Amino acid sequence: MQGKDVLLEVKDLHVHFPVRRGILFKKTVAEVKAVDGISFNVHAGETVGLVGESGCGKTTTGRAILKLIEPTSGSIVYKGQDISGFSQKEMLPLRHEMQMVFQDPYASLNPRMCVMDIVTDPLIEHKVITHSQKEDTARKLLEIVGLDPRYMNRFPHEFSGGQRQRIGIARSLSLNPRFMVCDEPIAALDVSIQAQVINLFQDLQEKMGLAYLFIAHDLSVVRHISDRIAVMYIGKIVETAEKHDLFKNPMHPYTKVLLSSVPTPDPANERRRRRIELVGEIPSPLNKPKGCPFCTRCPNAMDVCKVEEPSMIDVGDGHQVACHLIKR
């Protein structure tokens, strides 16, 4: 993404949640380190895929960037402005630009509102349009996401999963954003319509110059849409690279595990492919292993991995890896 402006810069972001005990004093007895010091950036018009198993902190990262939850420390710089300490009131003007698409399209749509009201609600709330402009605006938004505007008076339950996700996308687009956090937006959809929704995201990006942070739990989903990919494991980014570089030359053992489960279209390759099985469960962010966060499951773990946390090393062309196997 050389030559494009950095739109979002996340530096050493931490999101910790206190675990409290006691009825009266609610004493803090521990901390869940959901996001534990991650750094990355997103350029204008770029898609960064954020990948990792459930519970690794991807969604918390997305929500913290949009200030839907408060970061514990670190900075979130959007268009040169550090928004990490912004109040909800200070965030209001930026809500136009920074939007979110949710995983479950049905749960994120108000079942009592018709589609016209759902997609124009943010515009009414921000006083961008009046009630008399709702119908025209809804028509345009539904056309953009490939839905028939004749159905704008219907309710969410009258649509399929893919159509409901399109309604959610139309609502997120209504304020003409520059940056969107897409939180597993196709995970709840049938495989047959996942590709359509991914294509829709790409078309919109081309037409509107949108930048995405695209969150998914497996690499096959972000392969098609991402320019760069960051791999996350219990609150840490362990590897980040340009998409082609990451698929051609994965370096972190965890990335190799994730890649080994990505199906390939070539049956001969598929037969040759050796799937690496992970043993054990992902550790709780409440009780993280010492040293490398992946040391309890890593097939290459060495003694040093259990005592010393590896730092992020740049191996060239923006490819960064946090693993003791990588030499500076």
* DSSP percent split of the chain into helix, strand, coil, nearest 5: 35, 25, 45
Q: Is 173 in the site for ligand SF4 (CB under 6 A)?
A: no
DSSP 253: H
Min CB(297)–ligand SF4 separation in Å: 8
Does residue 38 contact residue 61 with C-beta atoms inside 8 Å? yes
- CA dist., res. 166 & res. 144, Å (int): 9
Provide the sign of the torsion angle of the four alpha carbons 18, 23, 27, 30, taken in this order: negative
Q: Could you say which residues in the range 240-299 bind ligand SF4, by CB under 6 A?
A: 252-253, 292, 294-295, 298
Judged by CB under 6 A, the stretch of 47-55, 105-113, 137-145, 320-328 that binds ligand SF4 is: 320-328
Nearer to ligand SF4, 122 or 310 (CB): 310
Phi, psi of 237, deg, nearest 5? -90, 125
Min CB(16)–ligand SF4 separation in Å: 22
Nearer to ligand SF4, 182 or 241 (CB): 241
Q: Is 98 in the site for ligand SF4 (CB under 6 A)?
A: no
Out of 259, 305, 319, 320, the residue judged to bind ligand SF4 by CB under 6 A: 305
Does residue 169 contact residue 204 with C-beta atoms inside 8 Å? yes
**Among 58, 107, 76, which residue's Cα sits nearest to residue 219?**
58
Min CB(240)–ligand SF4 separation in Å: 15
Q: Is 168 in the site for ligand SF4 (CB under 6 A)?
A: no
Q: Is 324 in the site for ligand SF4 (CB under 6 A)?
A: yes
Nearer to ligand SF4, 175 or 282 (CB): 282
Phi, psi of 87, deg, nearest 5? -80, 170
The contact set with ligand SF4 (CB under 6 A) reads 252-253, 292, 294-295, 298, 300-302, 305, 310, 323-325
